[in-house]
Copies of this chain bind each other. A is one copy, B any other.
Amino acid sequence: MLELALMDPEAFDVKEARAVFEDIGISVSGSLGLTPSTDVSSEDELIVAKGEAVLRKAVQLVAELGGTDLCGELYSALAKYPSASTEKGRGNAVAALRRLADYADGFGVSLSLEILNRYETNLVNTAEQGLKFLDDVGRPNVKLHLDTYHMNIEESSMAGAVLATGDRLGYVHVGESNRGYLGSGNIDFASFLRALMTIGYAGPIVFESFSTAVVGPNLSNVLGVWRNLWEESDDLASHAYSYITTAIRSAEQATRKWV
Protein backbone atom coordinates (compact mmCIF):
# COMPACT_ATOMS: atom_id res chain seq x y z
CA MET A 1 0.00 0.00 0.00
CA LEU A 2 1.12 3.52 -0.79
CA GLU A 3 -0.08 6.29 1.52
CA LEU A 4 -0.54 9.64 -0.18
CA ALA A 5 -0.16 12.82 1.85
CA LEU A 6 -3.18 14.90 0.86
CA MET A 7 -1.93 18.15 2.39
CA ASP A 8 -2.42 19.75 -1.01
CA PRO A 9 -5.29 17.91 -2.73
CA GLU A 10 -5.00 20.01 -5.88
CA ALA A 11 -1.34 19.04 -6.35
CA PHE A 12 -1.93 16.03 -8.58
CA ASP A 13 -4.16 14.64 -11.29
CA VAL A 14 -6.43 12.06 -9.64
CA LYS A 15 -7.39 10.11 -12.77
CA GLU A 16 -3.80 9.84 -13.95
CA ALA A 17 -2.65 8.83 -10.47
CA ARG A 18 -5.32 6.14 -10.18
CA ALA A 19 -4.37 4.73 -13.57
CA VAL A 20 -0.71 4.50 -12.52
CA PHE A 21 -1.54 2.80 -9.21
CA GLU A 22 -3.86 0.30 -10.91
CA ASP A 23 -1.23 -0.37 -13.55
CA ILE A 24 1.42 -1.31 -10.98
CA GLY A 25 -1.18 -3.00 -8.77
CA ILE A 26 -0.70 -1.03 -5.57
CA SER A 27 -3.49 -0.01 -3.21
CA VAL A 28 -3.67 3.54 -1.92
CA SER A 29 -4.63 5.31 1.30
CA GLY A 30 -4.75 9.01 2.12
CA SER A 31 -3.43 10.96 5.09
CA LEU A 32 -3.34 14.55 6.19
CA GLY A 33 -2.74 16.85 9.11
CA LEU A 34 -4.97 19.87 9.55
CA THR A 35 -3.39 23.31 9.97
CA PRO A 36 -4.14 26.13 12.44
CA SER A 37 -6.41 27.70 9.79
CA THR A 38 -8.36 24.44 9.19
CA ASP A 39 -8.33 23.11 12.76
CA VAL A 40 -11.62 21.38 13.64
CA SER A 41 -10.65 21.56 17.34
CA SER A 42 -10.66 25.36 17.13
CA GLU A 43 -13.17 27.36 19.14
CA ASP A 44 -13.79 29.41 15.99
CA GLU A 45 -16.70 27.99 13.96
CA LEU A 46 -15.34 29.45 10.70
CA ILE A 47 -12.04 27.63 11.11
CA VAL A 48 -13.91 24.42 11.96
CA ALA A 49 -16.01 24.79 8.81
CA LYS A 50 -12.87 25.26 6.70
CA GLY A 51 -11.39 22.13 8.27
CA GLU A 52 -14.49 20.09 7.54
CA ALA A 53 -14.39 21.17 3.89
CA VAL A 54 -10.74 20.03 3.63
CA LEU A 55 -11.59 16.70 5.24
CA ARG A 56 -14.59 16.07 2.96
CA LYS A 57 -12.41 16.83 -0.06
CA ALA A 58 -9.83 14.32 1.22
CA VAL A 59 -12.52 11.66 1.68
CA GLN A 60 -13.62 12.22 -1.93
CA LEU A 61 -10.03 11.97 -3.16
CA VAL A 62 -9.39 8.70 -1.32
CA ALA A 63 -12.54 7.23 -2.85
CA GLU A 64 -11.65 8.51 -6.33
CA LEU A 65 -8.24 6.86 -5.96
CA GLY A 66 -9.91 3.57 -5.14
CA GLY A 67 -8.89 3.67 -1.47
CA THR A 68 -10.88 2.98 1.70
CA ASP A 69 -8.68 4.59 4.39
CA LEU A 70 -8.17 8.20 5.38
CA CYS A 71 -5.80 8.56 8.32
CA GLY A 72 -3.61 11.10 10.10
CA GLU A 73 -4.35 14.13 12.22
CA LEU A 74 -8.00 14.58 11.24
CA TYR A 75 -9.12 16.07 14.58
CA SER A 76 -6.54 18.80 15.27
CA ALA A 77 -3.78 20.88 13.70
CA LEU A 78 -0.31 19.47 13.05
CA ALA A 79 1.41 22.12 15.15
CA LYS A 80 3.05 22.86 18.47
CA TYR A 81 0.07 24.39 20.27
CA PRO A 82 0.74 27.40 22.52
CA SER A 83 -1.63 26.14 25.23
CA ALA A 84 -3.74 23.18 26.32
CA SER A 85 -6.92 22.10 24.51
CA THR A 86 -10.29 23.38 25.69
CA GLU A 87 -13.58 21.57 26.30
CA LYS A 88 -15.29 23.68 23.65
CA GLY A 89 -12.57 22.95 21.07
CA ARG A 90 -12.65 19.25 21.85
CA GLY A 91 -16.44 19.28 21.49
CA ASN A 92 -16.13 20.93 18.09
CA ALA A 93 -13.68 18.25 16.98
CA VAL A 94 -15.96 15.43 18.17
CA ALA A 95 -18.96 16.94 16.36
CA ALA A 96 -16.96 17.51 13.16
CA LEU A 97 -15.69 13.92 13.18
CA ARG A 98 -19.24 12.60 13.62
CA ARG A 99 -20.41 14.52 10.56
CA LEU A 100 -17.31 13.49 8.59
CA ALA A 101 -17.78 9.83 9.55
CA ASP A 102 -21.32 9.85 8.21
CA TYR A 103 -20.14 11.58 5.02
CA ALA A 104 -17.23 9.12 4.60
CA ASP A 105 -19.57 6.17 5.14
CA GLY A 106 -21.33 7.13 1.90
CA PHE A 107 -18.00 6.69 0.10
CA GLY A 108 -17.07 3.45 1.87
CA VAL A 109 -14.17 5.26 3.54
CA SER A 110 -12.95 4.61 7.10
CA LEU A 111 -11.29 7.28 9.21
CA SER A 112 -8.33 6.49 11.46
CA LEU A 113 -7.33 9.18 13.95
CA GLU A 114 -3.58 9.39 14.45
CA ILE A 115 -2.31 9.75 17.98
CA LEU A 116 0.58 12.21 18.04
CA ASN A 117 3.18 13.44 20.48
CA ARG A 118 2.71 16.58 22.60
CA TYR A 119 4.54 18.80 20.10
CA GLU A 120 2.18 17.93 17.23
CA THR A 121 -1.20 18.11 18.96
CA ASN A 122 -2.56 19.13 22.36
CA LEU A 123 -5.69 16.95 22.11
CA VAL A 124 -4.92 13.22 21.85
CA ASN A 125 -1.40 12.09 22.85
CA THR A 126 -2.04 8.51 24.01
CA ALA A 127 -4.09 5.48 22.98
CA GLU A 128 -6.04 5.84 26.22
CA GLN A 129 -7.05 9.40 25.29
CA GLY A 130 -7.78 8.20 21.75
CA LEU A 131 -10.18 5.50 22.93
CA LYS A 132 -12.05 8.08 25.02
CA PHE A 133 -12.24 10.34 21.97
CA LEU A 134 -13.58 7.43 19.85
CA ASP A 135 -16.20 6.73 22.53
CA ASP A 136 -17.37 10.34 22.24
CA VAL A 137 -17.47 10.26 18.43
CA GLY A 138 -19.34 6.95 18.51
CA ARG A 139 -19.14 5.98 14.83
CA PRO A 140 -18.09 2.47 13.72
CA ASN A 141 -16.05 3.73 10.75
CA VAL A 142 -13.83 5.88 12.98
CA LYS A 143 -10.85 4.04 14.48
CA LEU A 144 -7.43 4.80 15.89
CA HIS A 145 -4.16 5.21 14.03
CA LEU A 146 -1.01 4.38 16.03
CA ASP A 147 2.49 5.52 15.05
CA THR A 148 5.53 4.05 16.77
CA TYR A 149 7.50 7.33 16.56
CA HIS A 150 4.86 9.16 18.61
CA MET A 151 4.22 6.18 20.90
CA ASN A 152 7.92 6.11 21.83
CA ILE A 153 7.48 9.58 23.35
CA GLU A 154 4.06 9.31 24.94
CA GLU A 155 3.06 5.73 25.78
CA SER A 156 4.13 4.07 29.02
CA SER A 157 3.96 0.74 27.21
CA MET A 158 3.83 0.52 23.43
CA ALA A 159 2.64 -3.09 23.52
CA GLY A 160 0.12 -2.22 26.22
CA ALA A 161 -1.30 0.58 24.07
CA VAL A 162 -1.80 -1.81 21.13
CA LEU A 163 -3.50 -4.39 23.33
CA ALA A 164 -5.82 -1.70 24.74
CA THR A 165 -6.98 -0.60 21.27
CA GLY A 166 -7.90 -4.14 20.15
CA ASP A 167 -10.40 -4.13 17.28
CA ARG A 168 -10.58 -0.32 17.35
CA LEU A 169 -7.15 -0.03 15.76
CA GLY A 170 -7.57 0.86 12.09
CA TYR A 171 -4.15 1.96 10.86
CA VAL A 172 -0.48 1.69 11.83
CA HIS A 173 2.61 3.74 11.04
CA VAL A 174 6.00 2.25 11.73
CA GLY A 175 8.60 4.96 12.17
CA GLU A 176 11.90 4.92 14.04
CA SER A 177 12.49 7.06 17.16
CA ASN A 178 14.73 9.40 15.13
CA ARG A 179 12.44 9.14 12.03
CA GLY A 180 15.25 7.54 10.00
CA TYR A 181 16.01 3.93 8.97
CA LEU A 182 14.00 1.29 10.82
CA GLY A 183 16.16 -0.36 13.47
CA SER A 184 18.57 2.60 13.68
CA GLY A 185 16.99 4.02 16.84
CA ASN A 186 15.45 3.07 20.18
CA ILE A 187 12.13 1.44 19.27
CA ASP A 188 11.44 -2.16 20.24
CA PHE A 189 9.57 -3.21 17.09
CA ALA A 190 9.53 -6.88 18.12
CA SER A 191 7.28 -6.33 21.14
CA PHE A 192 5.13 -3.81 19.24
CA LEU A 193 4.54 -6.24 16.36
CA ARG A 194 3.88 -9.16 18.73
CA ALA A 195 1.14 -7.06 20.31
CA LEU A 196 -0.34 -6.37 16.84
CA MET A 197 -0.39 -10.12 16.17
CA THR A 198 -1.95 -10.78 19.57
CA ILE A 199 -4.93 -8.53 18.81
CA GLY A 200 -5.22 -10.07 15.32
CA TYR A 201 -4.54 -6.75 13.60
CA ALA A 202 -4.97 -7.10 9.82
CA GLY A 203 -4.99 -3.46 8.69
CA PRO A 204 -2.31 -1.39 6.93
CA ILE A 205 1.23 -1.13 8.34
CA VAL A 206 2.87 1.82 6.59
CA PHE A 207 6.47 3.03 6.97
CA GLU A 208 6.93 6.76 7.46
CA SER A 209 10.13 8.78 7.41
CA PHE A 210 11.08 12.37 6.66
CA SER A 211 13.97 14.12 4.97
CA THR A 212 14.18 17.53 3.36
CA ALA A 213 15.46 15.57 0.34
CA VAL A 214 11.84 14.73 -0.53
CA VAL A 215 9.59 16.65 1.90
CA GLY A 216 8.67 20.26 1.13
CA PRO A 217 10.00 23.08 3.32
CA ASN A 218 6.63 23.84 4.98
CA LEU A 219 6.06 20.32 6.30
CA SER A 220 9.76 19.89 7.15
CA ASN A 221 9.64 23.01 9.30
CA VAL A 222 6.40 21.97 11.03
CA LEU A 223 7.92 18.56 11.81
CA GLY A 224 11.28 19.99 12.90
CA VAL A 225 13.36 18.14 10.29
CA TRP A 226 16.61 20.00 11.07
CA ARG A 227 18.93 17.22 9.95
CA ASN A 228 18.56 14.51 7.34
CA LEU A 229 19.01 10.88 8.28
CA TRP A 230 18.98 9.69 4.67
CA GLU A 231 19.39 10.91 1.11
CA GLU A 232 18.31 7.99 -1.08
CA SER A 233 14.62 7.28 -0.71
CA ASP A 234 14.76 4.07 -2.79
CA ASP A 235 17.32 2.52 -0.46
CA LEU A 236 15.42 3.74 2.61
CA ALA A 237 12.15 2.28 1.33
CA SER A 238 13.51 -1.08 0.23
CA HIS A 239 15.33 -1.44 3.57
CA ALA A 240 12.12 -0.58 5.44
CA TYR A 241 10.19 -3.17 3.44
CA SER A 242 12.75 -5.90 4.19
CA TYR A 243 12.99 -4.87 7.84
CA ILE A 244 9.29 -4.80 8.57
CA THR A 245 8.23 -7.85 6.56
CA THR A 246 10.99 -9.87 8.27
CA ALA A 247 10.01 -8.51 11.70
CA ILE A 248 6.33 -9.27 11.05
CA ARG A 249 7.16 -12.88 10.17
CA SER A 250 9.18 -13.13 13.39
CA ALA A 251 6.24 -11.72 15.36
CA GLU A 252 3.85 -14.15 13.70
CA GLN A 253 6.06 -17.04 14.74
CA ALA A 254 6.43 -15.62 18.24
CA THR A 255 2.66 -15.45 18.75
CA ARG A 256 1.78 -18.66 16.91
CA LYS A 257 -0.49 -21.03 18.75
CA TRP A 258 0.92 -24.55 18.94
CA VAL A 259 -1.86 -26.33 20.73
- Does residue A226 face the partner (Cβ distance < 8 Å to B)? yes
The complex is assembled from copies of this chain, and their number is: 2
- Does residue A254 face the partner (Cβ distance < 8 Å to B)? no
Tell me what chain A mostly uses at the interface: helix, strand, loop, or mixed: loop
Q: Cβ of A186: which chain B residues have Cβ within 8 Å of it?
A: 152, 155, 158, 186, 188
Contact with B along A16-42 (1 / 0, CB 8 A): 000000000000000000000000000
Pick the contact of A119 from B80, B83, B184, B217 — CB < 8 Å?
B80
Q: Cβ of A81: which chain B residues have Cβ within 8 Å of it?
A: 221, 224, 226
Pick the contact of A178 from B154, B221, B226 — CB < 8 Å?
B154
Verify A119–B119 contact, CB threshold 8 A.
yes
- Does residue A238 face the partner (Cβ distance < 8 Å to B)? no
Verify A125–B227 contact, CB threshold 8 A.
yes
- A223's nearest neighbour on chain B, judged by CB, is B118
CA distance A254 to B212 in the complex (A): 41
Verify B224–A119 contact, CB threshold 8 A.
yes
**A residues neighboring B (CB under 8 Å):** 80-85, 118-119, 122-123, 125-126, 129, 152-156, 158, 177-178, 180, 184-186, 188, 217, 221, 223-227
Q: Cβ of A154: which chain B residues have Cβ within 8 Å of it?
A: 177-178
Verify B153–A153 contact, CB threshold 8 A.
yes
- A227's nearest neighbour on chain B, judged by CB, is B125
Q: Cβ of A153: which chain B residues have Cβ within 8 Å of it?
A: 152-153, 177-178
Most chain B CB inside 10 Å of its own CB: which residue of A80, A83, A188, A221:
A80
CA distance A212 to B129 in the complex (A): 18
CA distance A225 to B83 in the complex (A): 9
Verify B85–A118 contact, CB threshold 8 A.
no
**Given contacts A80-B80, A82-B221, A83-B221, are A226 and B155 in contact (CB under 8 A)?**
no
Most chain B CB inside 10 Å of its own CB: which residue of A80, A186, A188:
A186
Verify A118–B225 contact, CB threshold 8 A.
yes
Pick the contact of A118 from B84, B129, B180, B226 — CB < 8 Å?
B226
Q: Cβ of A119: which chain B residues have Cβ within 8 Å of it?
A: 80, 119, 224
Pick the contact of A84 from B80, B84, B125, B226 — CB < 8 Å?
B226
Verify A84–B156 contact, CB threshold 8 A.
no
CA distance A57 to B129 in the complex (A): 42
CA distance A217 to B83 in the complex (A): 9
CA distance A80 to B155 in the complex (A): 22
